[in-house]
Structure 1
C-alpha cells in the first residue's frame, strides 16, 4: 500500500470522545500525566519501570523497551489510513512470519481485542511473547510483551499502566501506511550526550598530546563514532 492510500493529505479527523484508557491520541489524552517525550510517543513515567532506548548519533530512536522486573514491553508506532485500522492485517502478517520461523502463534482475545501469543526460543531459553495492537486516528501502536507478562498480564501491572497511559502525537505530515512515526530522544538528553562526548574527546586529546610531547610527535584528534 502506498502513501496515497493512506489518505494522509487530508485534514486529520476530529478527535473522538475520550477513550476509557489509552493508548491515547494527543487530542484526547487526559492532562496531568508525567511523561517522557520521545516525539511521536509520550511514555508515562511509572514507578519501577525502566525505559531503555536504542538511538543513533542524531538521537533518532530505533527501539523503545520498558522493563519491569522479569518482564518487558517493546513499543512501536506506525502511520495508518484515516478510514480504517490496520491491526487485523498486520497481525496476520506477524502470525505468518512466526509460522515461517517454525513458531506456532495462538490468537486470543485480550483487553484490546485480538492478540497473538507465542513461545519463542532465545539465547536464554524459551520465553513467552504477546503481540498487542491498538488502532488510533491515523496510527497503529504495536506493543510486544515479553517474559512472564506475556503469559499473565497481571504479573506486571506497571507495564499495563504504561500502555494504558501512552500518548501518540501523529502530526499532520503525509506518510506511507506502516511507516514508523518519528521517535527522538529529548533535546536535553542529546545535548547532554554531546557534551559528555566532547569532554571525553578533549580528555583523550589532552592525554594523547601529553604523550606526544614526550615523543615530539603530533597526535590526531579522536573521531566520534
Structure 2
C-alpha cells in the first residue's frame, strides 16, 4: 500500500550567518572569514577606517602600488605583492632586503621573523622595522619608520592597524613579486576628502619596488 507524501513546507530564505574567523587576527585574505568592520576599500587593500591615522596612496608613475599610514611622528608603509601558490615570499624578500641594508638584524615579532635596525636616507639616520606576512598567493610587506620602529608602545597602534588589513589578491595571473595595484575609493556622492584619515588625492612618499 502506498501512502500519499505529505506536502513539503516551503523553505524560508534565511540569510546565512557569516562564518566565524578561523584566526584571532589578520592580516586577512578577502576570501577567508574575517570581521566585518568599517574599512577603506582601495581595491587590492581594505584598510581599517580610523580617524587617528592619515592614510595616503603611494605611487610609482601612474600606478598606486602602496599606502603610507601616518600616526604621530612615525609612518607605516604597506605594499602587497603577488606570490606563488605553494611557497611564501617573505623569506625571499627578507633576504634581499638584508643584502641591500646590512645594518638590519633579524628578530622575532608578533607576525614571525622580521628585520629591524637604523637606516640612512636623505642625510639622516632613523630606525626602521620590516614586517612580512605571507597569505594565499600574496605577501604583505610593512615597513615602520620613526619612533614606532623601536618603541613597543608607539608601535602597537600600527600593529593593531596591520592586524585588521584585508588583502584582495584577485584571480588574475600576476608575476612573482608584482605589486597588487590599488585605486582611489569609489563611493558615489561622497568626496574622498570627507572621510577622516584619508586624502587619496595627495600623493605620499614613493615606495620602491622590491625586485
Change (3 A) 1:108 1:38: same
Note the C-alpha offset of 1:125.
2.6
Q: Does the aligned pair in 2 maintain the 1:49–1:158 contact within 8 Å?
A: no
The equivalent of 2:186 in structure 1 is 187
- State the Cα RMSD in Å: 2.4
Q: Does the aligned pair in 2 maintain the 1:41–1:169 contact within 8 Å?
A: yes
Note the C-alpha offset of 1:74.
0.1
- What CA distance in whole angstroms lies between the structure 1 residues aligned with 2:162 and 2:30? 14
- What CA distance in whole angstroms lies between the structure 2 residues aligned with 1:22 and 1:166? 7
Change (3 A) 1:115 1:179: same
Of 88, 91, 98, which aligns to 2:91?
88
Unaligned runs of 5+ in 2: 1-20, 193-211
Greater per-residue helix proportion = 1
Note the C-alpha offset of 1:124.
6.5
Greater mean deviation of Cα atoms: 17-26 or 39-48: 17-26
Change (3 A) 1:160 1:124: farther
How many pairs were matched up?
172
Change (3 A) 1:84 1:61: same
Unaligned runs of 5+ in 1: 1-16, 194-225
Counterparts of 1:134-213 in structure 2 under 5 Å?
134-188=133-187
Q: Does the aligned pair in 1 maintain the 2:149–2:155 contact within 8 Å?
A: no
The equivalent of 2:106 in structure 1 is 107
- What CA distance in whole angstroms lies between the structure 2 residues aligned with 1:113 and 1:98? 20
Change (3 A) 1:96 1:67: same
